[in-house]
Chains A and B, each alone.
Chain A
């Protein structure tokens, strides 16, 4: 009986002029979003690759110089996007993707794309994820608000029930019909994302990308499935189709528009970040003080060990040791500084996911960004890998100074290095985290999306069991 009801629903949806118009608009928007996503991904990847290669060539060809001068010249690390950012660019427009790795300092990523954009950027990027998150639930509502209420108004619900059709079978049939209509709508976009991800992934990362895609399908399935059952619940409860439509549109507006913004603002108030200017000034002051203290400590220990009173009398180039000690002494300060920033973001993200209890979109946004690799945790991972690489550069360089410096005719320690040193430092290669590493960041959102689906299904089941045909 359920397949028959579903087939009848599908037939009605197919005949519905609104569905045809909605499908055309949705496909046009999907194609535009997809094309823009692919073009953006290709441009970013190409630019990052070219710039990384050029940066490497400049590093190797910088000629002979004092190694610490090369450390100050530094290198740039560029982040290249994941293939799934074609689907969901997440917070990428609001993050810098280039970091200057220089001596003494762990710099912040530079040039957030949104800063260069026009104010229209704040209306949001048109991405496939956004269409699925905001537009598809609206289409579900438009196609499904009259499922029970409309039949009640026209009297066909009474006829159906008088024939002995159980309300719950009616529910499952209508849900299957509605889901099929939505699946037809979304299928081209899903296939495009699968194909593009397979084509854009490196061979060794393809399995991970497919795992992420499978999880994305699950998450979006739970989200949209919840909307289907919610729509049918409200339609079963309401006496008129008009009332069902108004209630569902109000829920959509609240859950998609108002609640995410409201929550993110309120969470910011719960975890006040303080002033950026103060944080940066405090970091500068801490680094300066630590530098002075470290130098004093270093000197006194070395003077004591080698029984000298001047650095010139040490049996090695003091700066090889001092520069490395300076670097290592500041590691903790930088780690604390960045940990404070990112831990605060992680706390906010966790709390934001709890918002799924008010709006399922909040949980889905975090899950979607995490799996697409366009969330805060992956950005933090990039920053940490870049910093680890910066430390390698400076350890190798300072070690070289210590081992190769020699006194010149005036007795001053001198050292120069060339390609032989620059080549010992490997190029920076960002290794993207696997899907398993992502789950802890969005597990809560995943679980709550499951709960959302279960609650909506339970409500629909209950409403269908007690449906009043009059």
Chain B
């Protein structure tokens, strides 16, 4: 009996066959092109976001500068329109101060656009009644939002598994169909070892191509390797991508090991892909919205209008109470009373609406928790969330940003409210509290993404082990 071939010899043998497989190399080329296109699309969105943040800073500076120039040009005794005079805090806040709180894109933002094309990058902060009726969202073609972006995460989530299945769905079945299996497995190679070597080589080349395409694409698109946390984010993104592809290679190995025909294998794998990548996430989305429905925004507006109306009717009482709670709001006068009453009405409206506002958060948290549990059913959901987190475009980072915006809005309001009712000329153009957003520690990224990598890799390993078991049950040539 011939000496069994070592794994290295098997890999070398398989490499000789693989070199001539045009479909395999076409798949790798398609993967590379998809990733490069995805990175370019992501870089374009990231550039636009950076530009938005930069412009927000310029617009703020220009507004403050214009207020200073106007204030300096006015004679102390001169009177101009109430909303033109920057010496009035109200006019400065309403007409000159264009304050935007912005969320700068994370270093790897170009890899996964996530929700960042839908959610606001910069939010206009005003002291007006909460929630302000100012739309903060980016104007993006809704059709593009509906379809989603062809970014790197999309290429890996949807296209890469199809390419993996394309190059591996019939490795064993083809040998059986062509009749070469008898020759191949009659001497020094067991079917399990041969199939393992075939998959190992293909997976290694796929993962190598994925890493090379990602690294070159990122480098060309201006990824800042030296930015704080950039390398860790990149490493986690690569690890999650590798684990995701390993899942699909593992599944293909298992289906091959079941020894059905090529068409049956293709149909089985296509059905798995459809169920796990397309149908399950959409069905889960539907179920989560049905089980934990968010309060209606229309009803929220309706309640807001109702509470505003009720507070306005009680403005005299609210004004009195507000003055008691906020001593030092200046002497009573027609304008002072009007503004103070407005502040009192707004404060009361906010207080009355807080429970409804909290309900949005509570239901959203419930939805997120439910998805967290059920995402284990779909590798696509696990990978997409990990990719968005590594890229800094996940919902948790954006929620933390919105919380910081709300806290900042309170600071700005506390800064301006006494000045709105003060008779002294406003001069604190540079004293408006600045916005500060504290990024979560990088260790959170690791604790968020590492479990995804472990789950996907463990699934892949389980598929492979199950495949080995199936292959060992009966001789391959009986199939």
Contacts and interface: CB of A to CB of B under 8 A. Distances in A.
Interface of A: 18, 29, 32-33, 36, 39, 43-44, 47-48, 50-51, 54-55, 58, 62, 76, 78, 90-91, 93-98, 100, 102, 107-126, 130, 134-135, 138, 142, 145-146, 241-242, 245-246, 249-250, 253, 257-258, 260-262, 264-265, 268-269, 273, 275-279, 281, 284, 288, 341, 344-345, 348-349, 352, 365, 376, 379
21 contacts: A18-B267, A36-B290, A47-B299, A76-B305, A107-B135, A110-B135, A110-B301, A116-B364, A118-B285, A119-B385, A123-B278, A123-B285, A124-B285, A125-B285, A126-B283, A135-B274, A138-B274, A249-B270, A258-B150, A275-B52, A284-B98
Question: Most chain-B CB neighbours within 10 Å: which of A50, A122, A245, A276?
Answer: A122
Contacts of A341: 139
Contact of A242 (B41, B170, B298): B170
B418 to A, nearest CB: 24
A258 B163 CA distance: 13
Question: Most chain-B CB neighbours within 10 Å: which of A93, A102, A277?
Answer: A277
A120 B288 contact: yes
Contact of A245 (B140, B263, B278, B298): B263
B421 interface: no
Given A98-B301, A261-B149, A110 B52 contact: no
B289 interface: yes
B388 interface: yes
A55 B270 contact: no
A261 B150 contact: yes
Which 9 A-B pairs give the minimum distances between C-beta atoms?
A123-B281, A94-B142, A91-B142, A111-B297, A120-B285, A108-B135, A261-B150, A126-B282, A47-B298
B300 to A, nearest CB: 8
A374 B289 CA distance: 20
A242 B263 CA distance: 5
Given A249-B266, A250-B166, A260 B283 contact: no
Contacts of A90: 146
B256 interface: no
B250 interface: no
A278 B44 CA distance: 17
Contacts of B55: 275, 277-278
Contacts of A121: 285
B436 interface: no
A246 B165 CA distance: 10
Contact of A257 (B142, B159, B296, B306): B159
B52 A276 contact: yes
A241 B177 CA distance: 13
Contacts of B263: 145-146, 241-242, 245
Contacts of B283: 29, 32, 126
A90 B147 CA distance: 10
B395 A118 contact: yes
A94 B154 contact: no
Nearest to B282: A126
Nearest to B266: A245
A264 B149 CA distance: 8
Contacts of B150: 258, 261-262, 265
Contacts of A278: 55
A325 to B, nearest CB: 16
B301 A268 contact: no
A407 B103 CA distance: 53
A101 to B, nearest CB: 11
Interface residues of B, number: 81
B270 to A, nearest CB: 6
A17 to B, nearest CB: 11
Given A246-B166, A275-B55, A123 B146 contact: no
B142 A55 contact: no
A268 B144 contact: yes
Contacts of B296: 43, 47
Interface stretch (B115-123, B437-445, B447-455): B115-123
B37 interface: yes
Interface in B372-414: 380-381, 384-385, 388, 394-395
Nearest to B370: A118
Contacts of A268: 141, 144
A74 B399 CA distance: 31
A261 B143 contact: no
A288 B145 CA distance: 32
A contact patch SS: helix
A100 B364 contact: no
B51 interface: yes
A94 B145 contact: yes
A262 B149 CA distance: 8
A47 B55 CA distance: 38
Contacts of A110: 133, 135, 297, 301
A54 B146 contact: no
Interface in B354-383: 360, 364, 367-368, 371, 380-381
A112 B137 contact: yes
A11 B446 CA distance: 56
Contacts of A94: 118, 142, 145-146
B147 A260 contact: yes
B301 A29 contact: no
B200 to A, nearest CB: 23
A135 B278 CA distance: 10
B144 A264 contact: yes
B445 to A, nearest CB: 16
B329 to A, nearest CB: 23
Nearest to A61: B309
Interface string B245-274: 000000000000000011100110010001
A299 B171 CA distance: 85
Contacts of B298: 44, 47-48, 51, 78, 97-98
Nearest to A253: B162
B143 A120 contact: no
B37 A262 contact: yes
A245 B48 CA distance: 41
Given A275-B51, A281-B98, A76 B285 contact: no
Interface in B78-99: 95, 98
B44 A345 contact: no
Nearest to A258: B159
A88 to B, nearest CB: 11
A350 to B, nearest CB: 12
A124 B283 CA distance: 9
B112 to A, nearest CB: 10
B141 A125 contact: no
Question: Most chain-A CB neighbours within 10 Å: which of B100, B143, B296?
Answer: B143
B388 A119 contact: yes
A179 B107 CA distance: 51
Given A51-B301, A110-B301, A261-B148, 17 more contacts: A39-B290, A47-B298, A78-B298, A94-B145, A98-B301, A111-B301, A115-B119, A116-B297, A116-B360, A118-B288, A118-B371, A119-B384, A249-B266, A249-B270, A261-B150, A288-B95, A341-B139
A25 to B, nearest CB: 8
A29 B285 CA distance: 13
A346 to B, nearest CB: 10
Contacts of A29: 279, 283
A124 B274 CA distance: 13
Nearest to B154: A261
A107 B137 CA distance: 13
B469 interface: no
Question: Most chain-B CB neighbours within 10 Å: which of A54, A249, A250, A265?
Answer: A265
Question: Most chain-A CB neighbours within 10 Å: which of B162, B283, B298, B381?
Answer: B298
Contacts of B305: 54-55, 58, 76
A39 B290 CA distance: 9
